[in-house]
Structure 1
Amino acid sequence: MRTDTSIFLTGFGAFLFAVCCLYISLLRRFKNRPLLPPGPRGYPIIGDLFNAISYAGEASVPLWERYLDMGQKYNSDVIHIDVLGDHTIILNSARATTELLEKRSGLYSDRPGMYMMTDLVGLHRRTFHQDFQPRAISAYHPFILQSTSGILERLLPAESNLSHIPDIKYEKLDSYVRSHAGSIILRLVYGMTTQSELNTFVELASLATESAIATMNHGSFIVDYFPLLKYVPAWFPGASFKRKANVWAPAVAEVINAPWEKLKASVASGTALSCFATKNLEKFNLMTIFDTDLVETDEVDLDMEKVIKNCAGIAYFAGLDTTKALIMTSILAISHHPEVLAKAQKELDAVVGPSRLPNFSDRTNLPYVEAFIREVERMYPITPLAVAHRVMADDIYEGYFIPKDATVVGNAWAILHSEELYKDPLKFNPDRFIQDDKDSSVPPNPELYAFGFGRRICPGRYLALESTWILIACLLATCDITRPLEEDARELDPVLDFVDGMTVHPKPYDCRIVPRSAAALNLMKTGYSAEIQ
């Protein structure tokens, strides 16, 4: 008995000694290390797990608003959240995002493991950026004008009497805008032009877009914090992410593979048009890849073919969604601000006149129209949370410790509604971006924050902005856009009137789009037929 007790005491003593050594080691390791940024205290080991589960399952308050509230609660523009050892750093100010995600982009340019997003698509960002820079976009203007003509024609009223035109329902407007944005993307990316092709692949992108929106915000699903959950069966309690992934994954695969197979067939037959995909296939000497009689498989860079294929797929469904969201938000904003409509129309009448539609060459002469688009980007940002970054080594910022592998998220919503940058941030006011004289200053361009930060900034932003600008300029020049006749006047709520996600869309709304005159009606009929012949 005494021997057993001695053995127990010896073992227990050794255990206590090991614990003490570990404790001393940890104390030495962390003694001189700066503190993490402020945030929810949480519990030992699990951290803020309970709140994370609550947030992932409850969508009434969007993440970007929660993060802003945390910043105000802890009086800090940098917030830290720990869930099961997964560190998330939230940046709620332009100062913090500029310093970390722009100036230190080499350290913060990696992407965290978002298990609902991993393996859905691969993306070679350099390839994408090269083909969607402003200079490259100008070459696509004829296609954008052609698609703009198409949607103007669809929006023509059935009634010849302009005083008896009914409201346009959300479903119809959404369909028109989706088709418009999709036709531009599909022509630019895959060279598709026939209406049947466009209709088929625009519809195909819808479910895949839902997947991208839902999975790219780190923390949207509890599996982002607890990766082992990806191995549980779909029927397991709390595994809704698994059931959704089972639906989304095939849809995303189809949206990448189906148009690529169509492109392969057109390349093989010699009917492919010049586009993003063919330009990159030519760049890497891959145009013969689809002809098995000419090329041996082992001579082909299949990895680069996969990169181009995946880049095309990303451009296809992400670009469509971004453009559609920006256009639908702009139309909604016009319908709620008649004073903005009147000012924009006055400017367009003076610069463009009643005998033609606005063109890209008019853009620098239409500062108020430009200011309106900027204010839409600021007040109702379509990407309120930037794509997450991952820090690749321990770092220090403003005395705070940022650990290696932490997920870092820029909160564009907080920045674009900061009183330090924008006076009366909750007031919709395009005039804030109009420079009255040479000595006056204007606030920062929202494009600096509205499409992401650093190397993870949205590469398709120029295409989305160009497509949106020309369509909105045309609608402002030719139409009166107002709320439905039966709807009471009210202010738009930038939170409650929008659907949260990686890309934020307006909730369904109806509006009135009525040609201003018979001359405007004729402009909508003819579109840009003269310019694109």
Structure 2
Amino acid sequence: MSTKITPFLAVAILFGFYHLYISLLRLFRPRLPYPPGPRGYPLIGDLFNAISNTHKGSKDINQHEWARYLEMGRKYSSDIIHVNVLGDHTLILNSAKAATELLEKRSGLYSDRPRLYMMSDLCGWHWNLATMPYSNKWRLHRRIFHQDFQAKAVSTYHPFILQATSNFLRKLVPIEYDPLHAPEIEHVDLESYVRDHAGSIILRVVYGITAQEDLNDYVRLAYLASESLIATMNHGSFFVDYLPWLKFIPAWFPGASFKQKANTWAPMVSDLANGPWKTLKSSMANGTALPCFATKNMEKFNLSNLDINSIENSNNLNSEPDMEEVIKNCSAIAYFGGSDTTVSLVMSSILALSHHPEVLKKAHEELDRVVGPSRLPEIGDRDELPYIDAIIKEVERIYPVTPLGVPHRVISDDVYEGYFIPKGTTVVPNVEAILHSEELYQDPLKFNPDRFLRNDKDSELPPNPELFSFGFGRRICPGRHFALDTAWVLIACLLATCDVTRPLEESQKGCRTPDPVLDYFDGEIAHPKPYKCRIVPRSITALNLMKAGYPSEN
């Protein structure tokens, strides 16, 4: 009696031999140690600590995720830390040296992203360019985005930045000019002004949206959707990132509160991607669309007449309907990124300035000398205003927008300084730890813009925070030039026209509370906790500048 080997059985046997070969290869390969870190237990690894730290809200600044990772590095006397949870490996990089070596010099191995099941699968952020896997699909999205947001292209958006900055200054104009009794500005009001400013620029640039009702709706939509991204973008923020099968359990199941959160967040994320896009398609259909990022790319690929619904079920990246999806995705991430990260940088800048009158005084002196009292600062003045640039760099350093960066994933086994890094490891650059390193920045917890000013030809400046705060290697943020130009104009104009101080009661009592360096909400994008400040026009002349704004021809 003979046994007939079917094609299926042959494939199964070959598959079995292959896995046996791989297992033996690993068994007899000289085994290097993992980097230092908690030993955990067999099979489950550091499971119990992961459970205790998964998506916990903390009011103690020392329990922020980046601070916990830094403390682990000190405990194990290493700038790289390895954590294993149920076979899911994570590598934390607490130094510029490690981040540069792995994420920059070995970017070919470290440019992938881990699968964030809570964020992408359950909340619907799968279209997010920043977290897409390293693939041809990502390259296509990146190329489309980069063409219109590279440094040379951003200058075409400067008129919109100046117009929005004029509107922002007018919102700050007091009813009566009274420097001694100017009202305090609550955080919630100030943040709404900053969000309106950032949102109006990016919505005009990306979708050509200018109607105030639409601007209000979409600025608020970006704010609501940001909660889900901030909460889910750090690998392991929710336990479903470690056990993907959990995404299939129903929301009513005991312990499935993460599904309830996802069910609340997902419609907002969907509206974020589709709401302004439908507005754009409607304006294109009736011939009222303004030239913008989306229309330019739609016309470039001859997609102006395609129906948005035709892209829903197509997966071939070479087909025209999918090019529309790519443009829609790029538009959505530009809209969201420009709406939230700029807000974080500006709100942190105002907070820092209100606590440092000595910095405010130096900024006023430089602006008065270079720009004078008769006009607002222009982007062309930037090279002549190094102290303003230094302030923004110091804000980026001491209050980084993304304290843990965006996680990377290694695509094959690697070795670093004698340690084994297995394929599939999630790699987390601890950006806040790097930017507060005493080796790179003297007295790192002190807010000191002067550190970025060259005192003589031979003096050596510390690293520019932008080397770390906007990502690494091939995954560096492609929208950084737009974000920095937007923030620079607003901060320069605010400093040129206003005093930014603490609340009057604190000033009168001579209250000197510690710098709120670490007093931030935890999450992927850092936002300062609510604060009050006083923003007062420096003079009647400055008040008139705020009312006038930039000339209309800009």
TM-score by length of 1: 0.92
2:308 and 2:428 map into 1 onto residues whose CA distance is 44
396, 405, 413: which one aligns with 1:377: 396
Q: Deviations over 1:305-360 (max 9, x none)?
A: 11111111111122211001100000000000000000100000000000000010
Aligned counterparts, 1:17-416, within 5 A = 29=27, 32-60=30-58, 61-119=63-121, 120=124, 121-122=126-127, 123=129, 124-290=141-307, 301-416=320-435
* Structure 2 residue 502 is the aligned partner of structure 1 residue 475: no
Decide whether the 8 Å contact of 1:92 with 1:414 is kept in 2: yes
Give the Cα separation in 1 of the matches to 2:367 and 2:353. Answer: 15
Alpha-carbon separation, structure 2, partners of 1:28 and 1:136: 50
Q: How does 1:421-500 map to 2 (within 5 A)?
A: 421-487=440-506, 488-495=511-518, 497-500=519-522
Report the number of matched residues: 505
Task: Say if 2:534 is the partner of 1:512.
Answer: yes
Q: Which runs of 5+ in 2 are unaligned?
A: 1-19, 130-140
CA distance in 2 between partners of 1:197 and 1:421 (Å)? 45
**1:476 offset after TM fit, Å?**
0.6
Q: Displacement, 1:130?
A: 2.1
- Matches of 2:319 and 2:414, distance apart in 1: 42
Matched letter for residue 96 of structure 1: A
Quote the Cα distance in structure 2 between the aligned partners of 1:449 and 1:58: 26
Paired position in structure 2 for 1:529? 551
In structure 2, give the amino acid aligned to 1:490. Answer: T
Residues 128 and 459 in structure 1, CA contact (< 8 A), matched pair in contact too: yes
CA 75–30 in structure 1, closer or farther in 2 if over 3 Å, else same: farther
Greater CA deviation, 129-138 or 235-244? 235-244
Rounded Cα–Cα distance in structure 1 between residues aligned with 2:324 and 2:385: 42
Tell me how far apart the structure 2 counterparts of residues 437 and 314 of structure 1 sit (CA, whole Å): 42
Partners of 2:435 and 2:465 within 8 A in 1: yes
Say if 1:267 and 1:290, in contact at 8 Å, map to a contact too.
no
* CA offsets 1:338-383 (integer angstroms, 9 cap, x no match): 0000010000000000000001000000111110100000011111
Hey, what's the Cα distance between the residues in 1 that align with 2:553 and 2:468?
34
User: Quick one: distance in 2 between partners of 1:501 and 1:45?
Assistant: 29
Maintained 8 Å contact 1:289/1:300 = no
The 3-state SS of whatever aligns with 1:314 is: helix
Shift of 1:531: 4.5
Report the Cα distance in structure 1 between the residues aligned to 2:191 and 2:301, rounded to whole angstroms. Answer: 38
Whether the 8 Å CA contact 1:286–1:300 is kept in 2: the answer is: no
SS state at 1:364 partner: helix
Q: Provide the C-alpha distance between the structure 1 equivalents of 2:252 and 2:64, rounded to a whole number of angstroms.
A: 27
Moved over 4 A (4+): 25-28, 297-300
For structure 1, the residue ranges without an aligned partner over 5 or more in a row are 1-21
SS at match of 1:135: helix
* TM-fit CA distance, 1:389: 1.0
SS of residue matched to 1:505: coil
Report the alpha carbon displacement of residue 56 of structure 1 after superposing the two structures with TM.
0.9
1:36 alignment partner AA: Y
- In the alignment, the residues of structure 1 paired with residue 445 and residue 188 of structure 2 have an alpha-carbon distance, to the nearest angstrom, of 28
Q: Find the partner of 2:437 among 418, 442, 466.
A: 418
For residues 177 and 28 of structure 1, the distance between their equivalents in structure 2, rounded to whole angstroms, comes to 55
Q: In 2 relative to 1, CA 499–30 (structure 1 residues): closer, same or farther, beyond 3 Å? A: farther
Displacement of 1:458: 2.0
Distance in structure 2 (CA, Å) of the matches to 1:373 and 1:68: 25
| CA separation of 1:530 and 1:264: change in aligned 2, threshold 3 A | closer
- CA deviation profile, 1:219-260 (whole Å, cap 9, x unmatched): 111111111211122233332221110011111001111111
Q: Which amino acid aligns with 1:505?
A: H
Distance 1:30 1:162, change over 3 A: farther
Residues of 1 paired with 2:74 and 2:378: CA distance?
A: 44
Q: Are the counterparts in 2 of residues 434 and 442 from structure 1 also a CA contact under 8 Å? A: yes
Query: How far apart are 1:30 and its partner, in Å?
Result: 5.8
Q: Which moved more, 1:103-112 or 1:147-156?
A: 103-112
Q: What SS does the corresponding residue of 1:498 show, helix, strand or coil? A: coil
Percent identical: 67
